[in-house]
Amino acid sequence: MSTRAAGGPATSSKGRPSPGARRGLAAAAGILTALAFQPYNLWPLVVVGVALLTVLVRGRTLRQGFGTGYLFGVAFLALTVSWTYVIAVPVAVLLVVVWALWFAGVGLVTALVTRLPAWPLWVAAEWVLGEYLYSRVPWGGFGWTRLAFTQADSPLAGLFPYVATTGVSFLVALLAAGLAWAYSAYRTTTGRQRLQAVAVVTLAYVLAVGGAVAARAVTHTSQPTDTITVGMVQGNVDGVGLEAFGRARSVTNNHMSETVTLMAKARAGLLPVPDFVLWPENSTDIDPILDTETNQVVSTAVRVANVPILVGAVTEGPGAYERQTTALWWDPVTGPGAIYHKRNLVPFGEWIPLRAQLLPLVPMLKLVGAQSVPGNSPGVLSVDVPQHGTTRIGVMICFELAYDQTVREMIQGDASTGGGAQLVTVQSNNATYAGTGQISQQWAITRIRAMETQREILVATTNALSGYIRPDGTVVYETHQRTPASTSVIMPVRNGLTSAMRFGAGIELALVAIAVAALAAAAWRSRPARAKASPVGQNGTAPSS
């Protein structure tokens, strides 16, 4: 229902907002979209915010689309990831102003592809392309604010096991683009055509939401082959912000103490006796293998529990002044065993890109400490659980939750582990961000991963949120922040794969390919008309006038 002439803008300039109003609306669109994320959780607003951005850039030049998208991104990120200020205010400002460039790119390509027929489809695909890129580039990306991560409590959550996070992001963007199309059609048509536009979009919403609700009613979980009782320890830390860990080894002492409490409750019959115990990321702040005192504390905790502990450790190496964030299986008889190193590291939090060049310029980066080195294998530990034999335990460490490929490879496994994760754990250290929106944002992502993988997930953090989540995203148990806590839960051992885990990578690549093709088609369609060739005389020269 476009009123656009071929090659021209989608609508006339009549009735368009002034440049100042447009900038204000772009910021408003970013704020509306941000309010769909935790801790606000006004998830329907993501459709409104993205639709408003689409309306603002449709029919505009590429430069205008870029600028409008950038303002959207600044407002959006300032509200969603402002919690990075606890590291340093300049870090938060830098993150916002740099990462907003990706949303500027989304605005630009949206302005371009809305010149094509059936443009809502291509707009949605471009959002997937944008998320694909900013989840990877630069320095491993920062895909913390993808559209799908607003949908943990929405009817669309029923689609996570089918189409994965990427597919849900696409659908959210498609619903938003459809709303933008209906608005544009309503403004530029009259009578029956207006009703048709409203009817088409309403039907699309009913089908999408109804289909998702029906999908959620279907059971996807595979039948468990066993059940294992797992203890969870949240030991708490002594400080806040960058000083959260307090004195060296105090975090490890805290987790040893809370393990004693857990086992006392279990042996008194107040909790099921665990088959192993889960400690969080950074529950040792010094290498427990190399440091004698830390080793003794962990060994004491393991002896008290009399079952293995999956320790979240900081380990030294592989090179000089390097470290790794590690999940370490510690057996009461054989000691340290199976090991997994975190793969997705936080830039400027765990490692410094361009370290040699940036450290002299920004001395405060020294607070990061030794350079973290990523692991290179899936997060699956094939271990011997007492009374249950060999079990494949999946491990996601904090920031890794945002990375689809890391989650898929954990569930799928490889030859080195003999298969994918049969039960899933998350180790996290959110102590630095206590009291900020980061905590609830990560919790929502964790719930989405439970739905996507159709696995129960047990989470242990240093000081919250820890807890237990069912495959439908329901929270069974949740701790409070800044307090010690422990419990034990009975976890099913599962082997099945959802469609999201089998085909998620293919869904993503297909949508990215569609986005690239749409971009190419829109660029070709929008190319400047070639100047008509002048008549050429028989001797090969243009006739004189």
- Neighbouring CB atoms inside 10 A of 193's CB total 13
pLDDT at 54 over 60: yes
pLDDT value of position 55: 97
pLDDT value of position 528: 75
One DSSP character per residue, 33-56 reads HHTTSTTT--TTHHHHHHHHHHHH
Pick from 17-26, 173-182, 212-221: least confident: 212-221
- Neighbouring CB atoms inside 10 A of 255's CB total 31
**pLDDT-based confidence at residue 239 (cuts at 50, 70, 90):** low
What number is the average pLDDT over the span 250-261? 96
pLDDT value of position 197: 79
Indicate the angle between helix axes 250-267 and 292-305, nearest 10 degrees. 10
Contact 390, 422 (CB under 8 A): no
Placement of tokens 């004693």 in the chain: 260
**pLDDT-based confidence at residue 358 (cuts at 50, 70, 90):** confident
What number is the average pLDDT over the span 51-71? 97
Joined together, the tokens standing for residue 141 give: 């990306």
What number is the average pLDDT over the span 272-277? 98
- Please list the residues that pair with 314 across neighbouring strands: 325
**pLDDT-based confidence at residue 207 (cuts at 50, 70, 90):** confident
pLDDT at 481 over 80: yes
pLDDT value of position 363: 80
Sign of the C-alpha dihedral computed for residues 539, 541, 544 and 545 taken in this order? positive
Cβ contacts of residue 69 below 8 Å, gap of 6+?
26, 53, 57, 103, 104, 105, 106, 107, 108, 110
Pick from 54-63, 373-382, 429-438: least confident: 429-438
pLDDT at 241 over 80: no
3-state secondary structure of 383: strand
Q: What is the pLDDT of residues 138-157, one digit of tens each?
A: 999 999 999 999 999 999 99
CA-to-CA dists, residue 401 to 86, 105, 167, angstroms: 21, 25, 17
Residue 322 to residue 136: CA distance in whole angstroms:
23
**pLDDT-based confidence at residue 415 (cuts at 50, 70, 90):** confident
pLDDT at 417 over 90: no
pLDDT value of position 244: 54
3-state secondary structure of 90: helix
**Average pLDDT, rounded, for the chain:** 90
* Alpha carbon distance, N-terminus to C-terminus of the chain: 46
pLDDT at 57 over 70: yes
* Identity of residue 257: S
Q: Could you give the residue numbers annotated as active site? A: 281, 342, 398
CA-to-CA dists, residue 483 to 239, 283, 437, angstroms: 11, 14, 18
What number is the average pLDDT over the span 305-312? 98
pLDDT value of position 540: 41
pLDDT at 542 over 60: no
What number is the average pLDDT over the span 234-254? 77
Distance of CA 133 to the CA centre of its chain: 13
Residue 422 to residue 391: CA distance in whole angstroms:
7
Q: What is the pLDDT of residues 103-116, one digit of tens each?
A: 999 999 999 999 99
Contact 221, 471 (CB under 8 A): yes
Residue 71 to residue 25: CA distance in whole angstroms:
9
High-pLDDT (> 70) share of the chain, %: 92
**pLDDT-based confidence at residue 532 (cuts at 50, 70, 90):** very low
* Residue with the larger pLDDT of the pair 38 and 238: 38
Q: Where are the domains of the chain?
A: 19-219+501-525, 226-351+369-497
What number is the average pLDDT over the span 379-405? 96
Residue 375 to residue 373: CA distance in whole angstroms:
7
What number is the average pLDDT over the span 251-271? 97
Cα within 13 Å of Cα(469), Cβ side: 26
**pLDDT-based confidence at residue 362 (cuts at 50, 70, 90):** confident
pLDDT value of position 219: 67
- Neighbouring CB atoms inside 10 A of 220's CB total 21
Contact 102, 73 (CB under 8 A): yes
High-pLDDT (> 90) share of the chain, %: 73
Q: What is the pLDDT of residues 429-468, one digit of tens each?
A: 988 899 999 999 999 999 999 999 999 999 999 998 999 9
Query: So what CATH class is 226-351+369-497?
Result: alpha beta
